[in-house]
A and B are shown apart, each in its own frame.
Chain A
Amino acid sequence: MPELEALIQRWKTELTMAFGGDAEIVAELESHLREEIENQIRAGQPPVAALAAARTKLGTPVRLAAEYARVASPTRWLPVFVLAAIPVLMVAFFIVVTIATPTLLKKGALLLFHAGALWTGYSLALYVCLLGFCYVACWLVRPIGLGQRRQLGRALNVANAGAALLLLAGISLGSVRAKEHMGSFWNNDPREIGALVSCVWFAGLSILGCLLPGRQHRWVLLSLVGVSLCICGCVGPELIGEYRHLGGFPWSMQAACLVAATTLTPSAIACLGFFPPGQLKLRTPAATR
């Protein structure tokens, strides 16, 4: 029954994706599915119909993963805590720089809070980025457990929501200041658009992450794409001649290439998440059959 086997393998791939590559759970559910198929065939069902019935009885992979995630208690995943220091350090650095640069303080509280909100928002994006790197690295070698994934999902939701709110605050404060100094709320700097797109992206992911917590893999990868948008929105306009207004930094072709590479790296890392899990792990014999 090669057709049946191919369909089972396709189902198994879906299940593996939904469970973040947790081979033991997948093996147990596969064993169950095969038992049910055999039972259905014995009851007179043709093989493909037997598979369809068995799949229906077991539930969709996403629903199964959600059931497991519900009972799994969040377990500590070290990168979540270690990398949490990054936004804290960056905010501390911002405070030190602000204190050490009295000219910035003299320009007014509005500008200070505008820069501070954006700085913290982008720091959270960096946190999301490094968390995503760790996740993809684990995905390729040895998937993380259900409880750890649950904690990762929560950390990601908080970071995405935080980044979205801070970017929104930064944009709003910047708009008010722009109105005071340039006469209009909007359209003074293309970085506004970059920050707004990133803000919408992170807000959307945070909402989706809360509504569909079983699809963490997808949200991590899309968060990495969001980081690319952030970098592009933040430093991209500096590459355009007419917008080089931050001290007139002389952009060379090498610098442009560096920015482009930095922008694309998170999305490129996200693409690695499309490989099946455990690609870099040494293979062991198949668990069931």
Chain B
Amino acid sequence: MKLFKELVAASAVPVVLSILSNGESYGYTILQRVRDLSGGEIEWSDGMLYPVLHRLESQHLVRARWAVSDTGRKRKYYALTAAGKRALAEQREQWQLVHQTLTNLWGLGHA
């Protein structure tokens, strides 16, 4: 199933914030995590993620630091800030509300 472009774009921020709530991470792993968690159904283009991270950083929802990995490669790691945690809580509430509403609607429809 291919998700609508608008839905992919709208869900990008809560998905990234949720992944980062489990600990700091970098672009490549975030993409892989999205792919794994969605069973390969949500396939973000590689170029889409970095501008989102860039925007979250400029909004101070995430902070970034450069670090050298075990393989000797420099990577930019992202972590949630306190403001990012608050934004995630807000996003979660909103998405749960949307989810609940749709569940109720479709549940009633099937009844």
Contacts and interface: CB of A to CB of B under 8 A. Distances in A.
Contacts of A189: none
A59 B47 contact: yes
B45 A72 contact: no
Contacts of A59: 45-47
Given A25-B54, A71-B52, A64 B47 contact: yes
A281 interface: no
Contacts of A287: 66, 74
| Chain B residues touching A, majority SS | helix
Interface string A59-75: 10001100110111100
| Chain A residues touching B, majority SS | helix
Nearest to A39: B28
Interface string A26-38: 0111011011100
For the side of the interface on B, what is the size category? Answer: 10 to 19
A24 B57 CA distance: 13
A106 interface: no
A280 interface: no
Contact of B50 (A35, A68, A70, A73): A68
B75 A31 contact: yes
Contacts of A63: 47
A58 interface: yes
B50 A28 contact: yes
Contacts of A146: 54
B51 interface: yes
Given A28-B27, A68-B51, A71-B55, A58 B46 contact: yes
A67 B46 CA distance: 11
B48 interface: yes
A57 interface: yes
Given A25-B54, A31-B76, A72-B54, A67 B47 contact: yes
A85 B62 CA distance: 38
A72 B58 CA distance: 9
A288 B66 CA distance: 10
Given A57-B45, A57-B46, A59-B45, A36 B58 contact: no
Contacts of A31: 26-28, 73-76
The listed residue with most B CB atoms (<10 A of its CB), out of A63, A64, A71, is A71
B58 A32 contact: no
A289 to B, nearest CB: 7
Nearest to B76: A28
Given A25-B54, A57-B45, A67-B48, A32 B27 contact: yes
Given A32-B27, A287-B74, A68 B54 contact: yes
Interface of A: 24-25, 27-29, 31-32, 34-36, 57-59, 63-64, 67-68, 70-73, 146, 287-289
9 contacts: A25-B50, A25-B54, A32-B28, A67-B51, A71-B51, A71-B55, A72-B58, A288-B73, A289-B74
3 A-B pairs with least C-beta separation: A59-B47, A71-B55, A71-B51
